[in-house]
Amino acid sequence: MPYVTIKMLEGRTEEQKRALVERVTEAVVETTGASKEKVVVFIEDMQRNHYAVGGKRLSDQ
């Protein structure tokens, strides 16, 4: 059972997330041979103040 975790900054629409889950699931099925029903996708929305690059939070930029 493949598990996929996607971490991204918050702000995507439900439609975008739905499309992302569908496309990722398709890619996993095609590359691993797993059945669609066995692919689990987690989306973790991150707040800008919980994410930093180069020592600076994105919310501070």
What does the pLDDT read at residue 21? 98
Alpha carbons within 13 angstroms on the beta-carbon side of residue 13 total: 3
61: confidence class by pLDDT, cuts 50, 70, 90: confident
> Would you call 31 a catalytic residue per the annotation?
no
Q: Which ranges of 3-52 would DSSP assign to H, the alpha helix?
A: 14-32
Counted domains in the chain? 1
Read off the pLDDT of residues 32-41 as tens digits, 9 standing for 90 and up: 999 999 999 9
User: Of 1, 2, 19, 27, which residue is the catalytic one?
Assistant: 2
Burial 12-30 (b: 16+ CB within 10 A, else e): eeeeeeeeebeebbeebbe
* Cβ contact 43:20 at 8 Å: yes
- Domain with 34 in it: 3-60
In this model, does residue 6 exceed pLDDT 90?
yes
The domain that contains 39 carries what CATH number? 3.30.429.10
What does the pLDDT read at residue 31? 98
